[in-house]
Amino acid sequence: MAHTQYERITTKQTLNRVKEERMPFDWSINPYRGCGHGCSFCYARAFQSFIGMGAEDEFQHHIFMKSNAAEALEKQLSSAARKFDHDIEAMRRFIGQVTIGTATDPYQPIESKEGITRECLKLLAKYRISTSITTRSPLVLRDMDILTRMENVSVNISLNTLNGDIIRKLEPASPHPEGRLDTIHRLSAAGIRTGLFVAPVLPFLTDKESELKDLLSQAKVRGVSFAMISLLRLSRDVKKWYIETLKHQFPEVVQPYRELYGQGAYAEEHYVRSFKSMAARLLNEYELNGLTSEASAAAVSKAGAIESVTSQQNGTQVEGARDHLLSVGDLLAPAQPRKLPQPAAPVSGEELMPDIEQLSFPF
C-alpha cells in the first residue's frame, strides 16, 4: 500500500472569487489540495498539472494542507467588514454565496485531525456568510454545533450508487453508502438544508434507471431537500487514470468506455440526450428539483460547471451489481446506531459573534 505524504502549505487568500457568471455561487474555499478518498473519476485530478504534479496515484497520496487557511480567511472577512463599517448584513449581501469543497473534499480523512475546514466554518458563521458544503463524508456531522447556528447553510452529500462493491473499487477510501445516507438523515433531522449530488453517474456501472430510483428513494426517505444528477466527464488526464482503473476492476466495460468517450471529455451525444431525459424524469418523479432558491440552481448545474470553471481558475451493467445494493429496511434500521463524530471542543458563542457585537454592551 502506498504511503500518504501530507505537506503543509500557506495561502495568501482562502476565499477565491468565482468569475464565471453561470455559477450559482460567488466564492469558493478549498482547504486541501489532493484528496485521500482517491476517487478514480474525480475531475480535480486534472488540477494537479497546475502545480507540476500528476493526476494519477499522487492525487490520493500527496495531500497539501493549507495550514493558515483560517487566518487568511479571517483577514479577508475582517477587511470586508471594515469596508462596510462593520455592517455585517451589508457585508453578507456583498459577498453572497460561498461554497466549500469545489475541488477536493473538505472533510477528507485528514480533516478529522487537522480541523482546517472546521476553523474556516467558524469564521463563515461568525460573519453570517451564506455557505454551501459539498462532501462525501459523515465527518461533516462533527460540525453540527456550528451548522445548526448558521443562518443560511446547506450541505450536499455526494453519492452516485448504493452499490458498495463499486464504491470500494472506484472510490477506495471514501465512506460507505450507508454512512452517507445516514448523514443525510441526521443533517435533515437537525433542520439543515441537505441535498444529494448523484455525481458523477458512471456509464455502464451506475447508470441503470432502477438503481438510480433506489438511490433517490432512499435519500427522499431520509429527508433530502433536493437532488442533482450529473453524468461523468473525463478530461484527458482523468480519463487515462480512470480507464487504467477500469482495466483492473471492471475490464468488461473498458471498450464500451473507449467508444462512448472516444471523441473527448464528454459522452456521445445520443447517450447524453437519453441520460438527461431520464435524469429529469426521475427528479420530477421524486419531487427533488422543485426549488426556487439559489440552491435549486446549484443542484441543477453544479457538478458539471464546477469542473470547467475551477480548472480555469486555479449500455452493459456490471454482472451481479444488484447483489450488492442495500435495502431500504437495512438502512433505516442499522444493526448498531452510529456514534456522531465529536469536535475536540464545542464551539463557543463568542467564537461565532462578530467583533463589533462583542464590543457592544448595555449602559
- 217-231 residue pLDDT tens: 999 999 999 999 999
* Cα 250 to Cα 169: distance, rounded to the nearest angstrom: 9
Q: Check pLDDT > 90 for residue 210.
A: yes
Identify whether the C-beta of residue 140 lies closer than 8 Å to the C-beta of residue 183. Answer: yes
Percentage of the chain lying above the pLDDT 70 cut: 79
Position 185 confidence tier, pLDDT thresholds 50, 70, 90: very high
Position 321 confidence tier, pLDDT thresholds 50, 70, 90: very low
Percentage of the chain lying above the pLDDT 90 cut: 69
Q: Check pLDDT > 70 for residue 322.
A: no
Average pLDDT over residues 237-264: 95
Residue 356: per-residue pLDDT? 60
- The CA-atom distances, in angstroms, between 58 and each of 40, 114, 116 are 12, 20, 22
* Grid coordinates of 323: 447483489
Position 24 confidence tier, pLDDT thresholds 50, 70, 90: low
Residue 75: per-residue pLDDT? 96
* Cα 256 to Cα 258: distance, rounded to the nearest angstrom: 5
Average pLDDT over residues 123-151: 97
- Sorted by sequence, the CB contacts under 8 Å of residue 333 that are 6+ apart come out as none
Q: Check pLDDT > 80 for residue 51.
A: no
Residue 56: per-residue pLDDT? 55
Average pLDDT of the chain, as a whole number: 84
Residue 314: per-residue pLDDT? 39
Position 330 confidence tier, pLDDT thresholds 50, 70, 90: very low
- 275-317 residue pLDDT tens: 999 999 999 999 998 443 344 334 334 434 434 433 333 333 3
